A = this chain, B = another copy of it.
Amino acid sequence: MPSDTATNGETIGKSQNDAHKILTHPIGLPVAHQETCKVPAPLGGEGTVVPDFAGRVGSPLPLALGYNKHCTVHKSGIAMKSYREIISVHIPQRMDFVNITPQVAAAVKKSGVKEGLVLVNSMHITSSVFINDDESGLHQDYKKWLEYLAPFNASPQVYAHNRTGEDNGDAHHKRQIMGREVVVAITEGKLDFGTWEQIFYGEFDGRRAKRILIKIIGE
């Protein structure tokens, strides 16, 4: 297991770029290739349903949906890269949400990965990583709702888990509602997000140090 210890104080040196060169040039791999591919025009004209899907089971998209799409194939001669980073947080409240999108975006940049996936997960079982809106009213709503669905109660009569001497039985339940992890696409070196998507760390048993794992794979 990699060390839990988070360390500060050193910069990412020139050597990272050099390693990249070592990897991509001497072995004569071809230059990365990208092309834009577009789906065939629908039989009934543009802008509606694409009829020729090689789907296996299930109903087609209703015509009323105005279905259309856009795609890109990217093929690289570069072998896979991976990147790992731990973020340590210490939330002063029992329950709170923190936007960690800037940290994840920075990790993606540092990784040098242009096309791939980033996994972001809590390394704890009483907190979540999830994607939603950075709007304080919504976060207030979430707290009220989670407290309604799984109220805090230290009693071992309410949560058998609290027989262990802990008082965080509720936090293990709140975390299941909000989820452990998110997987986000990396496209052209950036988080491939819709307009309002933001990544949050959701703490349900705070007031102590916790860790978030960022793992990136791609090319």
Contact = CB atoms under 8 A, between A and B. Distances in A.
A47 to B, nearest CB: 6
Interface string A181-219: 111110110111111111000000000010101110111
B211 A75 contact: no
Interface in A131-150: 131-138, 140-142, 145, 149-150
Contacts of A35: 15-16, 19
Contacts of A116: 82, 217
Interface in A111-133: 111-112, 115-117, 119, 121-125, 130-133
Interface residues of A, number: 151
Contact of A67 (B12, B75, B88, B179): B88
Listed residue (A8, A16, A91, A106) with the most chain B CB atoms within 10 angstroms of its CB: A8
Given A33-B19, A38-B10, A161-B137, A75 B81 contact: yes
Interface string A37-65: 11111100011001011111111111011
Interface string A156-171: 1001111110000100
A134 B55 CA distance: 14
Nearest to A90: B66
A130 B106 CA distance: 28
